[in-house]
Amino acid sequence: MSSFSVKRISMEAVWVAGGQLMAAVGAIAGVRILTSLLNPDEYGRLALATSLMVLIQYVFGETLTFIAIRFYASSAQRNMIPELVATLNGFFTRITIGLLGAFALLTAGLWICGYSAWIPFLPPMFIFALFRVYGYMIEGIQSGARQRGVVAIHQAVLEWTRYLFAAILILLTVKKCETALWGFAVAMVLIAVSQWYWFRKLLMEVEGNERSPRPSVPLFKAMLEYGRPLLVIGFFTWMLTFSDRWALRINGSTRDVGLYFVLYQLGIGPIVLGCKVLVQLISPILYEKAGTNRSSADMKTVYHVNFLTAIGLVAVTACVSGLLFFIHGFLFNYLVAEEFRSVSWLWPWTVLGGGLFAAGQVFVISVMSGMDTRKLIPMKVASAGVSAICFFSGAMFFGLKGVVFGWVLFSLLHLIWAIILHYQEVKIHATNDKVVTDAF
């Protein structure tokens, strides 16, 4: 690896780490602010509402991100970035039309079924989710183009501004969940406008003023083939990461959900967010290395880097969660309002569960470095089922603490399965390479 490549990757790592740190600090500050303004019941309703917004992000937003990152390198090599962008815009247009239809049907359904009290929650949730999906698509292209600074800054600013606007609106109006949701929506729209501005600058550098690209039909088919399994995976990923809150709501109360949401935001949330940013850092590099030919030497490098990254993440998680066993009470006094401090002893366990889950997600990149993402569907479907069993049984028999320990158990099983998939990829590629070698 040349000194230029090392320097470039180092600078990208600095941007990613800096952006992640600022985003994490913003999220933690947001927890402190909102727990001071909302009681545990309202905070629990906010947790349930945001889980539905994240459903759209997981299914459509992350799918567009992975498609953009995966196809950027090959499109750049063929001088087809304008066609890539035009094709992705076609995907987003279809998603927008579908979401508008779903929003109208859901609103009508709530009205007809007598749940009109929930309707005021829908507009801010829809606005936030739609613009977040658009932001995900832009972040995917910018990550593929290795514009780490732009992506990192927007991710960090979003975390700060959404809590800031939520707090301002709550102070000016009423201390309700829906008020906070409108604050989130306003912040997301402003961030999306900024993302669009920097996105247009990137396109001007790539396209110039000479081309009026149209969506590429072959590229669309390839993206659809690659992305269709990711839609399914996104849904089941949402199920396995957010059924915990609904398990508590069904078997407990919104107060329990509010207390748990604090643990999630301070424990699991930052690690999962950090994992996503880490994936954004290494996946374009690994995808570019893998390319479309997937040579033996390049794929060995991909698998090796992936393995070291995941193991490093597990080691850091063990150290952080171990430290928190001794200082959780002290830190909770500063991080959350008094009503939420009784659950501080569960914080180290949520960090442990989040770290194990994130490490499993990193191992999954080994599969996604290829073009057959269908291999991930059985894992995600089974994981969703196992997580639901862990969360609902834990909530039913042990309440809030049962859900937390259910997270740890599920995350461990998820990591083991991801490691198995990783080594299956290594073995398959080694076998294919041996067959080719023997043929010569």
Q: Is residue 440 part of a domain?
A: no
pLDDT at position 4: 44
CA angle in degrees (0–180, nearest 5) for 329-334-339:
75
Across 325-351, average pLDDT: 92
pLDDT at position 9: 62
| Residues 197 and 164: beta-carbon distance below 8 Å | no
Q: Is residue 175 part of a domain?
A: yes
Q: Name which residue leads in pLDDT, 97 or 370.
A: 97
Please check the confidence at residue 435 and state whether its pLDDT lies above 50. Answer: no
Least confident of 126-130, 375-379, 419-423: 375-379
Q: For residue 20, what are its two tokens?
A: 């992640």
The top-scoring range by mean pLDDT among 15-24, 54-63, 153-162, 186-195 is 186-195
Give the pTM.
0.78
> Residue 177 sits in which domain range?
3-431
Alpha carbons 399 and 166: distance in angstroms, whole number: 29
| Residues 243 and 387: beta-carbon distance below 8 Å | yes
Alpha carbons 71 and 111: distance in angstroms, whole number: 43
**How many independent structural domains does the chain possess?**
1
Q: Is residue 437 part of a domain?
A: no
Q: Is residue 383 part of a domain?
A: yes
Least confident of 14-28, 320-334, 423-437: 423-437
Q: For residue 10, what are its two tokens?
A: 């180092």
Alpha carbons 20 and 431: distance in angstroms, whole number: 39
Q: Is residue 213 part of a domain?
A: yes
Q: Name which residue leads in pLDDT, 188 or 280.
A: 188
Task: Name the pLDDT band for 436 (thresholds 50, 70, 90).
Answer: very low
The 10s digit of each residue's pLDDT in 52-104 is 888 898 899 989 988 888 888 778 878 888 888 889 988 999 999 999 999 99
Of all residues in the chain, the percent with pLDDT exceeding 90 is: 35
Across 30-36, average pLDDT: 91
- pLDDT, averaged across the chain: 84
The top-scoring range by mean pLDDT among 75-79, 87-91, 293-297, 343-347 is 343-347
Across 334-345, average pLDDT: 91
Across 11-18, average pLDDT: 69
Q: Is residue 342 part of a domain?
A: yes
Q: Is residue 7 part of a domain?
A: yes
Please check the confidence at residue 374 and state whether its pLDDT lies above 60. Answer: yes
Alpha carbons 115 and 335: distance in angstroms, whole number: 35
Q: Is residue 436 part of a domain?
A: no
- Which residues fall within 8 angstroms of residue 82, CB to CB, at 6 or more apart? 203, 206, 207, 211, 213
311-339 burial, b at 16+ Cβ within 10 Å, e below that, comes to: eebbeebeebbeebeeebeeebeebbbeb
Across 227-255, average pLDDT: 86
